[in-house]
Amino acid sequence: MAKGFSIGVCDWNLGKMADPGCFEVAKQIGLDGVQVSLGTAANDMHLRRPEIQQKYLAESRKHGVAIASLAIGELNNIPYKSDPRTEAWVAGSIDACKALGVKVVLLAFFGNGDLRGDPKGIDEVVRRLKRVAPKAEQAGVILAIESWLSAWEHRQIIERVGSPAVQVYYDVGNSHLQGYDIYEEIRFLGDRICEFHAKDYEFLFGKGKVNFPAVRTAMDQIGYRGWIQIEGATPLGLIPSYKQDAAYLRSVFPRKV
């Protein structure tokens, strides 16, 4: 039996964004890990500070729930494509990854950071990623782009940056909402995908529009094994909904395959 999949959850979906209390909730659900926010503008991305890192590591150990990856969701409000503060945040996230023993940090491009129809914004993102990518490469950290763009547009950005440290964070629900062919996009991007969000908007998994067994087939075809983070709906309430989603995902994406 070879290594399979780990199932986690985004801290913001638990109502615990930038809060080490996320691990206790994830433990109640029975998950393997949490995708943890670097912080907010209000707390100056506090996970860059060693004393905050130690709090997270202690809570992770206490509850037996891993820190799966990091995310900078605040980039949806304060865009990487335009705000000078964000360059220090992204650079600092690399150091935080090293300190926490994780390999992926999600860079979000929604809301104010949306890149659709913004070639100048994309150009600036490429310039900034080129500057920071060598640091990420040296640290063994992946800067993961998540946006409304298509797989083809994401690959263009990656190829322009020209670094193995810049990859795609793939959200199956977002891609379906945009009308993209999820399964073909996964095959097209291949090993440029570093991690996945599981989402089906208002539906519990297995009852909606995303064909998760077909997602699994596409993952098998590109050789993906690793983290899948729940970013789902809560029609039954948070804990019951995510317990049901986690059970469904484990039936499709087992720990060992």
Domain positions in the chain are 6-252
CA 191 to chain centre: 15
Q: Contact at 8 Å (CB) between 105 and 38?
A: yes
Neighbours of 245 (CB within 10 A): 28
With CA atoms as reference, report the closest residue to 120 among 82, 173, 153: 82
Query: What is the CATH number assigned to the segment(s) 6-252?
Result: 3.20.20.150
Longest alpha-carbon distance in the chain: 48
CA separation (Å) from 120 to 9, 89, 133?
33, 21, 20
Q: Quote the pTM value.
A: 0.97
Q: Contact at 8 Å (CB) between 80 and 125?
A: yes
Q: Contact at 8 Å (CB) between 32 and 65?
A: yes
Q: Contact at 8 Å (CB) between 38 and 70?
A: yes
Question: Residue-wise pLDDT tens for the chain (257 aa)?
Answer: 578 999 999 999 999 999 999 999 999 999 999 999 999 999 999 999 999 999 999 999 999 999 999 999 999 999 999 999 999 999 999 999 999 999 999 999 999 999 999 999 999 999 999 999 999 999 999 999 999 999 999 999 999 999 999 999 999 999 999 999 999 999 999 999 999 999 999 999 999 999 999 999 999 999 999 999 999 999 999 999 999 999 999 999 999 99
Rg (CA), the chain: 17
